[in-house]
A and B are shown apart, each in its own frame.
Chain A
Amino acid sequence: MSATATDQRPDPADTAAQPRRAKNTRRSFLGLDRDGLILAVPALIPVVVFSVYPLLRGIYLGFTDAQAGANAQTSFTGLENYRNLLDDSYFWESFRIGLIWAFAVTILQFFASLGLALLLNQKLRLRWLARTLALVPWAMPPVVIGIMWRLVYHPNAGILNDVLLDLRIIDENVDWLSSFSLALPAVILVGVWAGMPQTTVVLLAGLQSVPKELHEAAAMDGASVWQRFRNVTWPAIKPVVVAMTTLDFIWNFNSFSLVYVLTQGGPGGETRLPLLFAYEEAFRYGNYGYAAALGNAMVVVIAVFVVFYLRQRVREANAR
């Protein structure tokens, strides 16, 4: 073993080929020897200080009455924040909006992306253009995406009203983002636009792992397009789809920047996602404890999806 090692030492070209895991010999603290600790600790310190500790403190804060203000005293209040949350109609409203937003964006994004991925998986002209464009939304800062769509939705200077007027779908300019009934759908559309690239790329990767021969065999046997999708493609991509949509849902439920830039939660709270609500509570009204409690409530919702996601992963791992 050592003979071959010396032979191939400084040649990076063929090193990429063979992955291998070291079998660790000496162990001490947490399974690391001294060298291991020296290498890991510099990264661990900031992680513990700025990630693990805040996370735990955030959970704890949710059970206190922490407030902004120089002489505010913090005391442990147990479940009081949660009792107040249950009585708070704004909380229910923002949770309802958050769930509608997360479900709508995730589902629409999935179907739109599946369609695009299926198209991009075929031999079509202009496929390269679509592939490149499909990545564009991904490459844009969320704040810029928000600003860009504000320009599209702008009541006077925006292009959307112009197009819809020309098509006679509307007969006067609409102020999309200020309308009580239209703001949420308008924001959801932006969410779908922004999230489609990632989902499409993942689905495309999934589709490319489906064996071509299976498709051809099914076609030979006279299976229709739908039957081939149902019986060949879908079973192959299903695990990826479940994992991806679960993560998408969680990310969407946690979103902030896009909607903040588009509407700041308005009009009248019609697009106030839970995170926007929590942000206002904490940094406009200074109710840190209450906002943290809301964060904890979000964790409970997310946990349901995480459990679902992990079970799927375990099932996948067992199937392999």
Chain B
Amino acid sequence: MNRSTPVATTLKYLALAGYLVFLAFPLFWLISTALKTPQEIALIEPTWIPNNITFDNFRAAFDEQPIVRSILNTLLVAGVSCLVTVVLSIPAAYVMARYRSVLSRMTLVWVLLSQIFPFILVIIPLFLLLRDLGLYDTYIGLIAVYVVWSMPFALWMLRSYVETIPIELEEAASMDGASKVRTLASVIAPLLAPGVVAAGLFAFVSAWNEFLFALVLIRDPELQTLSLTLVKFIGAEGVARLGPLAAASLVATIPSLIFFAFMQRRLTGGLLGGAVKS
């Protein structure tokens, strides 16, 4: 491989360039559209780079009340989902790692199943259930669904963190007379911090990005999450609306970008490689 010919090298770079264009191009266009004036967007011959860059689209998007409101809604729903997911998952992940019980094995099956079931199978009964419980079209209903939906990943991840903690630590604590619950809270939980952050961020971003559940379970425009509001925007087509739509879309991407910047090494490193192999 060291002695590749100039032709081979050129081909490699051409291929790489092709991939770069394919991957970056749509994003470039989104940013470009977000920074253009309505007049420039409406041009028959689209310009690649905006002639005069403007942030008016961001202002326009925010002036439309629903955007600000739905950003706040989404922050609330995603934030609470994230917290609840983590608080419930830590002890459960601990049990999964430390006990060889039927329950742990059943949980594992559930983690796998939850990856492959068509959502329609749960979403109709969930809709009916939430309606019967009076939780349809409420934050609480949506949050409950998001928590349960993020938990497989959180459990999976935290479980592997617990397994890296030596059992001797717990034995020492129990020798000192601490209960399991106490040991978990004061000895184990602090050591799980990196895993907790990762699982929490994952739960936050999943909730932030989610669309289908929100589409079915939320009707009140006041309660809409950002994904829903963005899709509403499309309906009101018109070339002039494309700028604010692009701007709002970029804003909606920010939390995920932060998450990926934070998680990048772990993601590329082998989280998924491991998940597929293990």
Contacts and interface: CB of A to CB of B under 8 A. Distances in A.
A44 B151 CA distance: 10
Contact of A24 (B92, B99, B175, B212): B99
B197 interface: no
B228 to A, nearest CB: 8
B253 to A, nearest CB: 5
Contacts of A254: 116-119
Interface in B150-171: 151, 155, 163-171
A52 to B, nearest CB: 7
B88 A156 contact: no
B27 A148 contact: yes
Contact of B115 (A19, A53, A137, A247): A247
Main secondary structure, interface of B, reads helix
B122 A47 contact: no
Nearest to B102: A30
**Interface residue tally of chain B, by bracket?**
35 or more
Interface residues of A, number: 119
B137 to A, nearest CB: 13
Main secondary structure, interface of A, reads helix
B88 A43 contact: yes
A300 B237 CA distance: 39
Most A Cβ at <10 Å: residue of B116, B252, B267: B116
B246 interface: yes
Contacts of A182: none
Contacts of A302: 116-118
A12 B187 CA distance: 10
A320 to B, nearest CB: 10
Interface of B: 1, 12-13, 15-16, 19-20, 22-27, 29-30, 33, 41-42, 44-46, 48, 88-89, 91-92, 94-95, 97-104, 110, 113-129, 144-145, 147-149, 151, 155, 163-172, 175, 179-181, 184, 190-191, 208-209, 211-212, 215-216, 227, 230-231, 233-234, 239, 242, 245-246, 249-250, 252-253, 256-257, 259-260, 264, 267-270, 272-274, 276-277
For the complex of A and B, the 8 pairs showing the least CB-CB separation, nearest first, are A205-B273, A31-B101, A5-B168, A35-B180, A43-B92, A39-B91, A141-B209, A139-B260
Given A5-B169, A157-B242, 8 more contacts: A15-B191, A38-B180, A58-B120, A147-B245, A148-B30, A148-B249, A162-B45, A257-B211
